Structures are given as structure tokens and as C-alpha cells.
Chains A and B, each alone.
Chain A
């Protein structure tokens, strides 16, 4: 517990949203976006993650990229909670279009309809998409 007197008056906490839109493999976007999230988590900002389009596959269970000689970083999503990153959203339309349900995911997620995802983005200070 931080005593209020210990908190510098000028500390700024912004709402960050990391938008993941690409499949976990095929391009490097997912891996490098995740590396950015892990660094960002050290800055005590209000961090949110959103998965939409093929990005929802990033957090799918039972990935076996080693069979294609690719690095398996999917387990790292499970460690996000340890970094204080717990606000994780998936887009309802994206998962339905791909035959997925929240049970298919490595981590607990909040399912948002497309309209609500737009509203979430609108509410952010910084949106970093890949």
C-alpha cells in the first residue's frame, strides 16, 4: 500500500490500449506487440489489451508453433496477470466468425461487441495497433 504522501504529485496515468489484429505467426507483429506490452507494464499505466480480427488466434490454447520451427510465445500471455495486465478484451464478432468461444483462450477475457469495442477505443489516451 502506497501512502498518499509518497506519491509524486506529477505522476500521470494514461489509458493505454494495445490492439492486436494479426495472427500469432505468419508475421512478427504479434510477438513484437507482446514485447512492447511487457515493457509498458513496468510504467504503472492503465493498460488494456484488445484482440480482434485474426488477432484472436494469438491467445488460442494448444498452439504448436515449434512444429514449424517458430518460437512459442503464447504462454507469455498467461503471465500478463503477473505484470498487472488484466484488462483483456476480445471482439465478439471476430471470435464468432472464426468459430471460437472464450473457452478456447489461454487467459480470461471480456467479450465486447464491435460497437462497444469502438467505444473502448474512444475512451483511451493512447492506442497502439499492430
Chain B
């Protein structure tokens, strides 16, 4: 199965980022592909390079980047939602890129299945 994943909540504040990450890693382990993970609403905060969690906690931002290093997964941040929340090229973490909603809609059309994580 070829998936696109949407993450709609901020990291740490909400479990959606964790659930999406675990879904993604297990899907990839099972041989499925994920063409894009699109971050929208407060989900764009998953891509801030200024996140500095305590050392005994998971690092959600870096975990995404590592996933995209190991697999051909596009970590895409919505430009409009990002601008509202201060996510720009200056604050973007490694491994992510900023793009538009149009690219997300295109991936929904092209992928076999779209899975949304959020409230």
C-alpha cells in the first residue's frame, strides 16, 4: 500500500505526532511505502529546529528526520500554517521542507490511502 499521512497536532502537546510516527515506522517495516507526511494546523511545529526536549524524553523532531533519512519519505510542512506559527526556512529543522497545500492534495490523489492523525 502506498500511503500519504497527515499530522494535524503539535508535538508533545498531543499524541497525534507519536501515533503517526509509530504508524509510519510499522507500515514501512511491513513493506508499505509512504510518499509524503504532511504537517498541517499545529502539526507544522513538528518541524521546528528550536525544539529541545529533555534528554530522557523522545526527540520527536529528530525522530521524523531520521525516518526520512532511512526511507524515501517526504516531510512536508504547509507554508500557510507554518507562517502563522513562525515555521519558515529560518526555523525549519533538518529533513523537512516547506510546501503548499496543493502538493498535499496531489499526494492524496496519487496515493492509495490517506491517513489523518489529529483530533
Instruction: Name the distance in Å between A110's Cβ and chain B's nearest Cβ.
Output: 23
Complex CA distance for A45 and B93, rounded to whole angstroms = 33
Complex CA distance for A42 and B105, rounded to whole angstroms = 10
B108 near A126 with CB under 8 A, answer yes
Q: Which of B80, B81, B84, B116 contacts A128 (CB 8 A)?
A: B116
A70 at interface by CB-CB < 8 Å? no
Please name all residues of chain A whose beta carbon is closer than 8 Å to the beta carbon of B84 when the two chains form the complex: 28
B114 near A126 with CB under 8 A, answer yes
A113 at interface by CB-CB < 8 Å? no
B101 near A130 with CB under 8 A, answer no
B118 near A36 with CB under 8 A, answer no
A14-46 with Cβ < 8 A to chain B: 14, 16, 22, 28-29, 32, 35-36, 39-40, 42-43, 45
Q: Which residues of B contact A (CB under 8 A)?
A: 6, 8, 40-41, 80-81, 84, 100-102, 104-106, 108-110, 114, 116, 118-119
